[in-house]
């Protein structure tokens, strides 16, 4: 039954791609007097698919925005959405100017290099795929924005907007591109045989550990923890938006992972794309189930939607490192374990009194590491073994945590990291942006008035 389902899914995906091929080829041949070679058509298809995947990954920004806004208080909605917007706008420009050249420096010492400003001057040492630098830039800049926006959720509700812009600029321009260069730019981890297919570690763990650093340096939101060490729930204001955001992220992940095959033409690429797509979907489902089961035990015997949504994302993050080379059953196992891990990590953060409003570190940090390790544990052919995967995990976690801890610490020392108590209670929408996201509804006063 399950095998038939997978076969059916592959047939559907293959059918769509064949239709797409005819569509593009038809359009190309429709131009009078022009003959295109098979290689040129393949070039067009690969670039077109990559472009669609880049758009899907960019659409993930909408998903992150909905998840983070929905899981936070309504008084911080403008602030959360604004941060997500700036991750893309500011991060996108800086990644163009500096980041892309750092990430793909060409021949370099394996640790730090620079291929030049912008797209045209950059060269990539991995030359066995077809996409142009332009479409590759669009794909990669979306990854960079993803890494940055992960942190937004971890620091929500108490960080000054200007400090967030500084952090976001540093991560997208420097921290993330250098991390990416070590594997995808042909750096020292690539030389060691480390494998991270679409960025469980490079994108998600980097974002997750940067978020952990931010959450620690900022400290918890007022009222999150009691003096006796117990935690208070601070529920989001719109679980509908959060759920929509997670579904958007799921859709976006079909650009993130299958797009990371970086090609569509030819039997091998097509098979890799459809395998990756099915594995991505299965891991998401299994992660949701794993987290929902465990949520019974941490939520007084009732299943918790927000935890289950994070389970879905956990499954996606876990499979991102290895979706192209593990079996369907392995994908289910990886996703399910990620779903369990995310709940365990959320409970552990609570015990440690670290306030991560949306569970960014459990989802992206912990499950990013899990994805890297699972790549070896589940026998992906692309890796040189568990030892190398562990080294890669340690390197990425340390790099993101230590550098961003320093950045956040410096911002705190400058007195511009956290908003005042009053501003935090009032909400960052008013304090930081002089606006309210829902002027027609609810109360803008912090507490009920009464005589």
Partner 1 sequence: MELTFEKNTEGLAPYTATLDTTKETVHPNRVFKIPVFKDSVENGYFADVCGFRAKAKSIDGLENKMLQLTDGLINMARLPRHVFVARRARKVFPIYTVGDEVITTTPGGPIFRHIELAKVREYLTDFLHESDVLGENGVSDKLHVRGTSLSTLQLRRPVLYLKKRNIGEKEFWAPVFETENLDGLYTYAASGRREVKNEYGGRGVLVLTRIVAEALKTDKRLDDIYDLRPDRLQPSFWEKLKPNLTDAGSIRIKGKNIDLFTSDALHIGVEYREEEERFGLFLDDSATSLSERISADFDRRGI
Q: Residue numbers of the site for partner 1 (CB under 8 A)?
A: 73-76, 221-224, 226-227, 230, 232-235, 237, 421-422, 424-425, 427, 442-443, 445-451
Q: What are phi and psi of 231, to 5 degrees?
A: -110, 150
What tokens were used for 178? 């250098």
How many whole angstroms separate alpha carbon 356 and alpha carbon 419?
A: 17
Closer to partner 1 by Cβ: residue 162 or 421: 421
Q: What is the CA radius of gyration of the chain?
A: 22
Other beta carbons within 10 Å of 283: 36
First to last CA, the chain: 65
- Minimum CB separation of residue 347 from partner 1 in Å reads 17
- Minimum CB separation of residue 168 from partner 1 in Å reads 24
Closer to partner 1 by Cβ: residue 229 or 406: 229
- Minimum CB separation of residue 97 from partner 1 in Å reads 38
Closer to partner 1 by Cβ: residue 3 or 227: 227
How many whole angstroms separate alpha carbon 446 and alpha carbon 422?
A: 10
Q: How far is CA 190 from the centre of its chain?
A: 21
Other beta carbons within 10 Å of 435: 12
Q: DSSP state, 320?
A: T
Closer to partner 1 by Cβ: residue 73 or 392: 73
- Minimum CB separation of residue 51 from partner 1 in Å reads 40
Closer to partner 1 by Cβ: residue 161 or 423: 423
Look at residues 371, 336, 391, 395 and name the one whose alpha carbon lies nearest to residue 175: 395
Q: Which residues, in sequence order, are bridge partners of residue 418?
A: 159
- Minimum CB separation of residue 427 from partner 1 in Å reads 6
- Minimum CB separation of residue 429 from partner 1 in Å reads 10
Closer to partner 1 by Cβ: residue 33 or 450: 450
CA distances from 98 to 19, 121, 157, 210, 352 (A): 38, 12, 30, 20, 37
Closer to partner 1 by Cβ: residue 76 or 280: 76
Closer to partner 1 by Cβ: residue 73 or 371: 73
- Minimum CB separation of residue 424 from partner 1 in Å reads 8
| DSSP helix/strand/coil, 225 | strand
Closer to partner 1 by Cβ: residue 183 or 237: 237
| DSSP helix/strand/coil, 159 | strand
How many whole angstroms separate alpha carbon 170 and alpha carbon 212?
A: 16
- Minimum CB separation of residue 421 from partner 1 in Å reads 6
On whether the CB atoms of residues 198 and 147 are closer than 8 A, the answer is no
Closer to partner 1 by Cβ: residue 300 or 415: 300
- Minimum CB separation of residue 326 from partner 1 in Å reads 41
Maximum Cα–Cα distance for the chain, whole Å? 85
Residues 6 or more apart whose Cβ sits within 8 Å of residue 299? 307
How many whole angstroms separate alpha carbon 39 and alpha carbon 44?
A: 9
- Minimum CB separation of residue 312 from partner 1 in Å reads 24
DSSP 323-378: TTTS-HHHHHHHHHHHHHHHHHHHHHHHHTT---TT-HIIIIIIHHHHHHHHHHHT
How many whole angstroms separate alpha carbon 6 and alpha carbon 346?
A: 33
How many whole angstroms separate alpha carbon 332 and alpha carbon 351?
A: 29
Closer to partner 1 by Cβ: residue 33 or 300: 300
- Minimum CB separation of residue 76 from partner 1 in Å reads 7
Buried b (16+ CB within 10 A) or exposed e, 390-408: ebbbebbbebbbebbbebb
Closer to partner 1 by Cβ: residue 59 or 225: 225
How long is the chain?
Answer: 451
- Minimum CB separation of residue 234 from partner 1 in Å reads 5
């Amino acid at each position: 039954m399950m095998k038939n389902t997978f076969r059916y899914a592959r047939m559907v995906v293959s059918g769509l791609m064949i239709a797409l091929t005819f569509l593009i080829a038809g359009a190309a041949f429709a131009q009078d007097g022009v003959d295109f070679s098979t290689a040129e058509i393949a070039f067009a298809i690969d670039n077109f698919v990559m472009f669609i995947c880049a758009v899907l990954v960019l659409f993930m920004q909408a998903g992150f925005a909905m998840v983070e806004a929905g899981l936070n208080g309504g008084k911080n909605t403008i602030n959360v959405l604004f941060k997500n917007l700036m991750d893309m706008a500011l991060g996108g420009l800086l990644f163009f100017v500096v980041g892309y050249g750092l990430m793909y420096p060409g021949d370099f010492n394996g640790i730090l290099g620079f291929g030049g400003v912008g797209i045209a001057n950059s060269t990539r040492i991995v030359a066995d795929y077809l996409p142009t630098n332009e479409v590759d830039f669009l794909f990669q800049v979306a990854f960079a924005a993803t890494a940055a926006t992960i942190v937004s959720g971890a620091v929500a509700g108490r960080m000054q907007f200007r400090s967030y812009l500084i952090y976001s600029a540093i991560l997208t321009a420097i921290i993330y591109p250098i991390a990416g260069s070590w594997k995808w730019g042909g750096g020292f981890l690539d030389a060691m045989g480390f494998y991270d297919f679409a960025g469980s570690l490079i994108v998600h763990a980097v974002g997750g550990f940067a978020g952990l650093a931010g959450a620690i340096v900022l400290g918890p939101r007022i009222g999150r923890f009691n003096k006796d060490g117990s935690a208070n729930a601070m529920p989001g204001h719109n679980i509908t938006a959060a759920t929509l955001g997670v579904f958007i992220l799921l859709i976006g992940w079909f650009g993130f992972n299958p797009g990371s095959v970086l090609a569509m033409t030819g039997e091998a690429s097509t098979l890799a794309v459809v395998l990756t797509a099915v594995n991505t979907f299965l891991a998401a489902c299994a992660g949701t189930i794993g987290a929902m089961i465990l949520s019974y035990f941490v939520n007084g015997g009732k299943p918790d939607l927000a935890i289950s949504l994070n389970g879905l994302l956990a499954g996606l993050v876990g499979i991102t490192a290895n979706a192209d080379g593990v079996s369907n059953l392995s994908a289910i196992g990886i996703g399910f374990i990620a779903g369990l891990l995310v709940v365990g990590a959320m409970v552990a953060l609570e015990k440690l009194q670290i306030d991560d409003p949306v569970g960014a570190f459990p989802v992206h940090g912990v499950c990013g590491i899990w994805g890297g390790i699972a790549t070896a544990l589940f026998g992906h052919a692309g890796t040189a073994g568990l030892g190398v995967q562990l080294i890669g995990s340690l390197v990425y976690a340390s790099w993101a945590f230590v550098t961003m801890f320093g950045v956040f610490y410096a911002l705190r020392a400058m007195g511009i990291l956290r908003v005042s108590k009053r501003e935090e209670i009032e909400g960052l929408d008013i304090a930081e942006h002089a606006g309210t996201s829902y002027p027609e509804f609810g109360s803008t006063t912090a507490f009920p008035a009464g005589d």
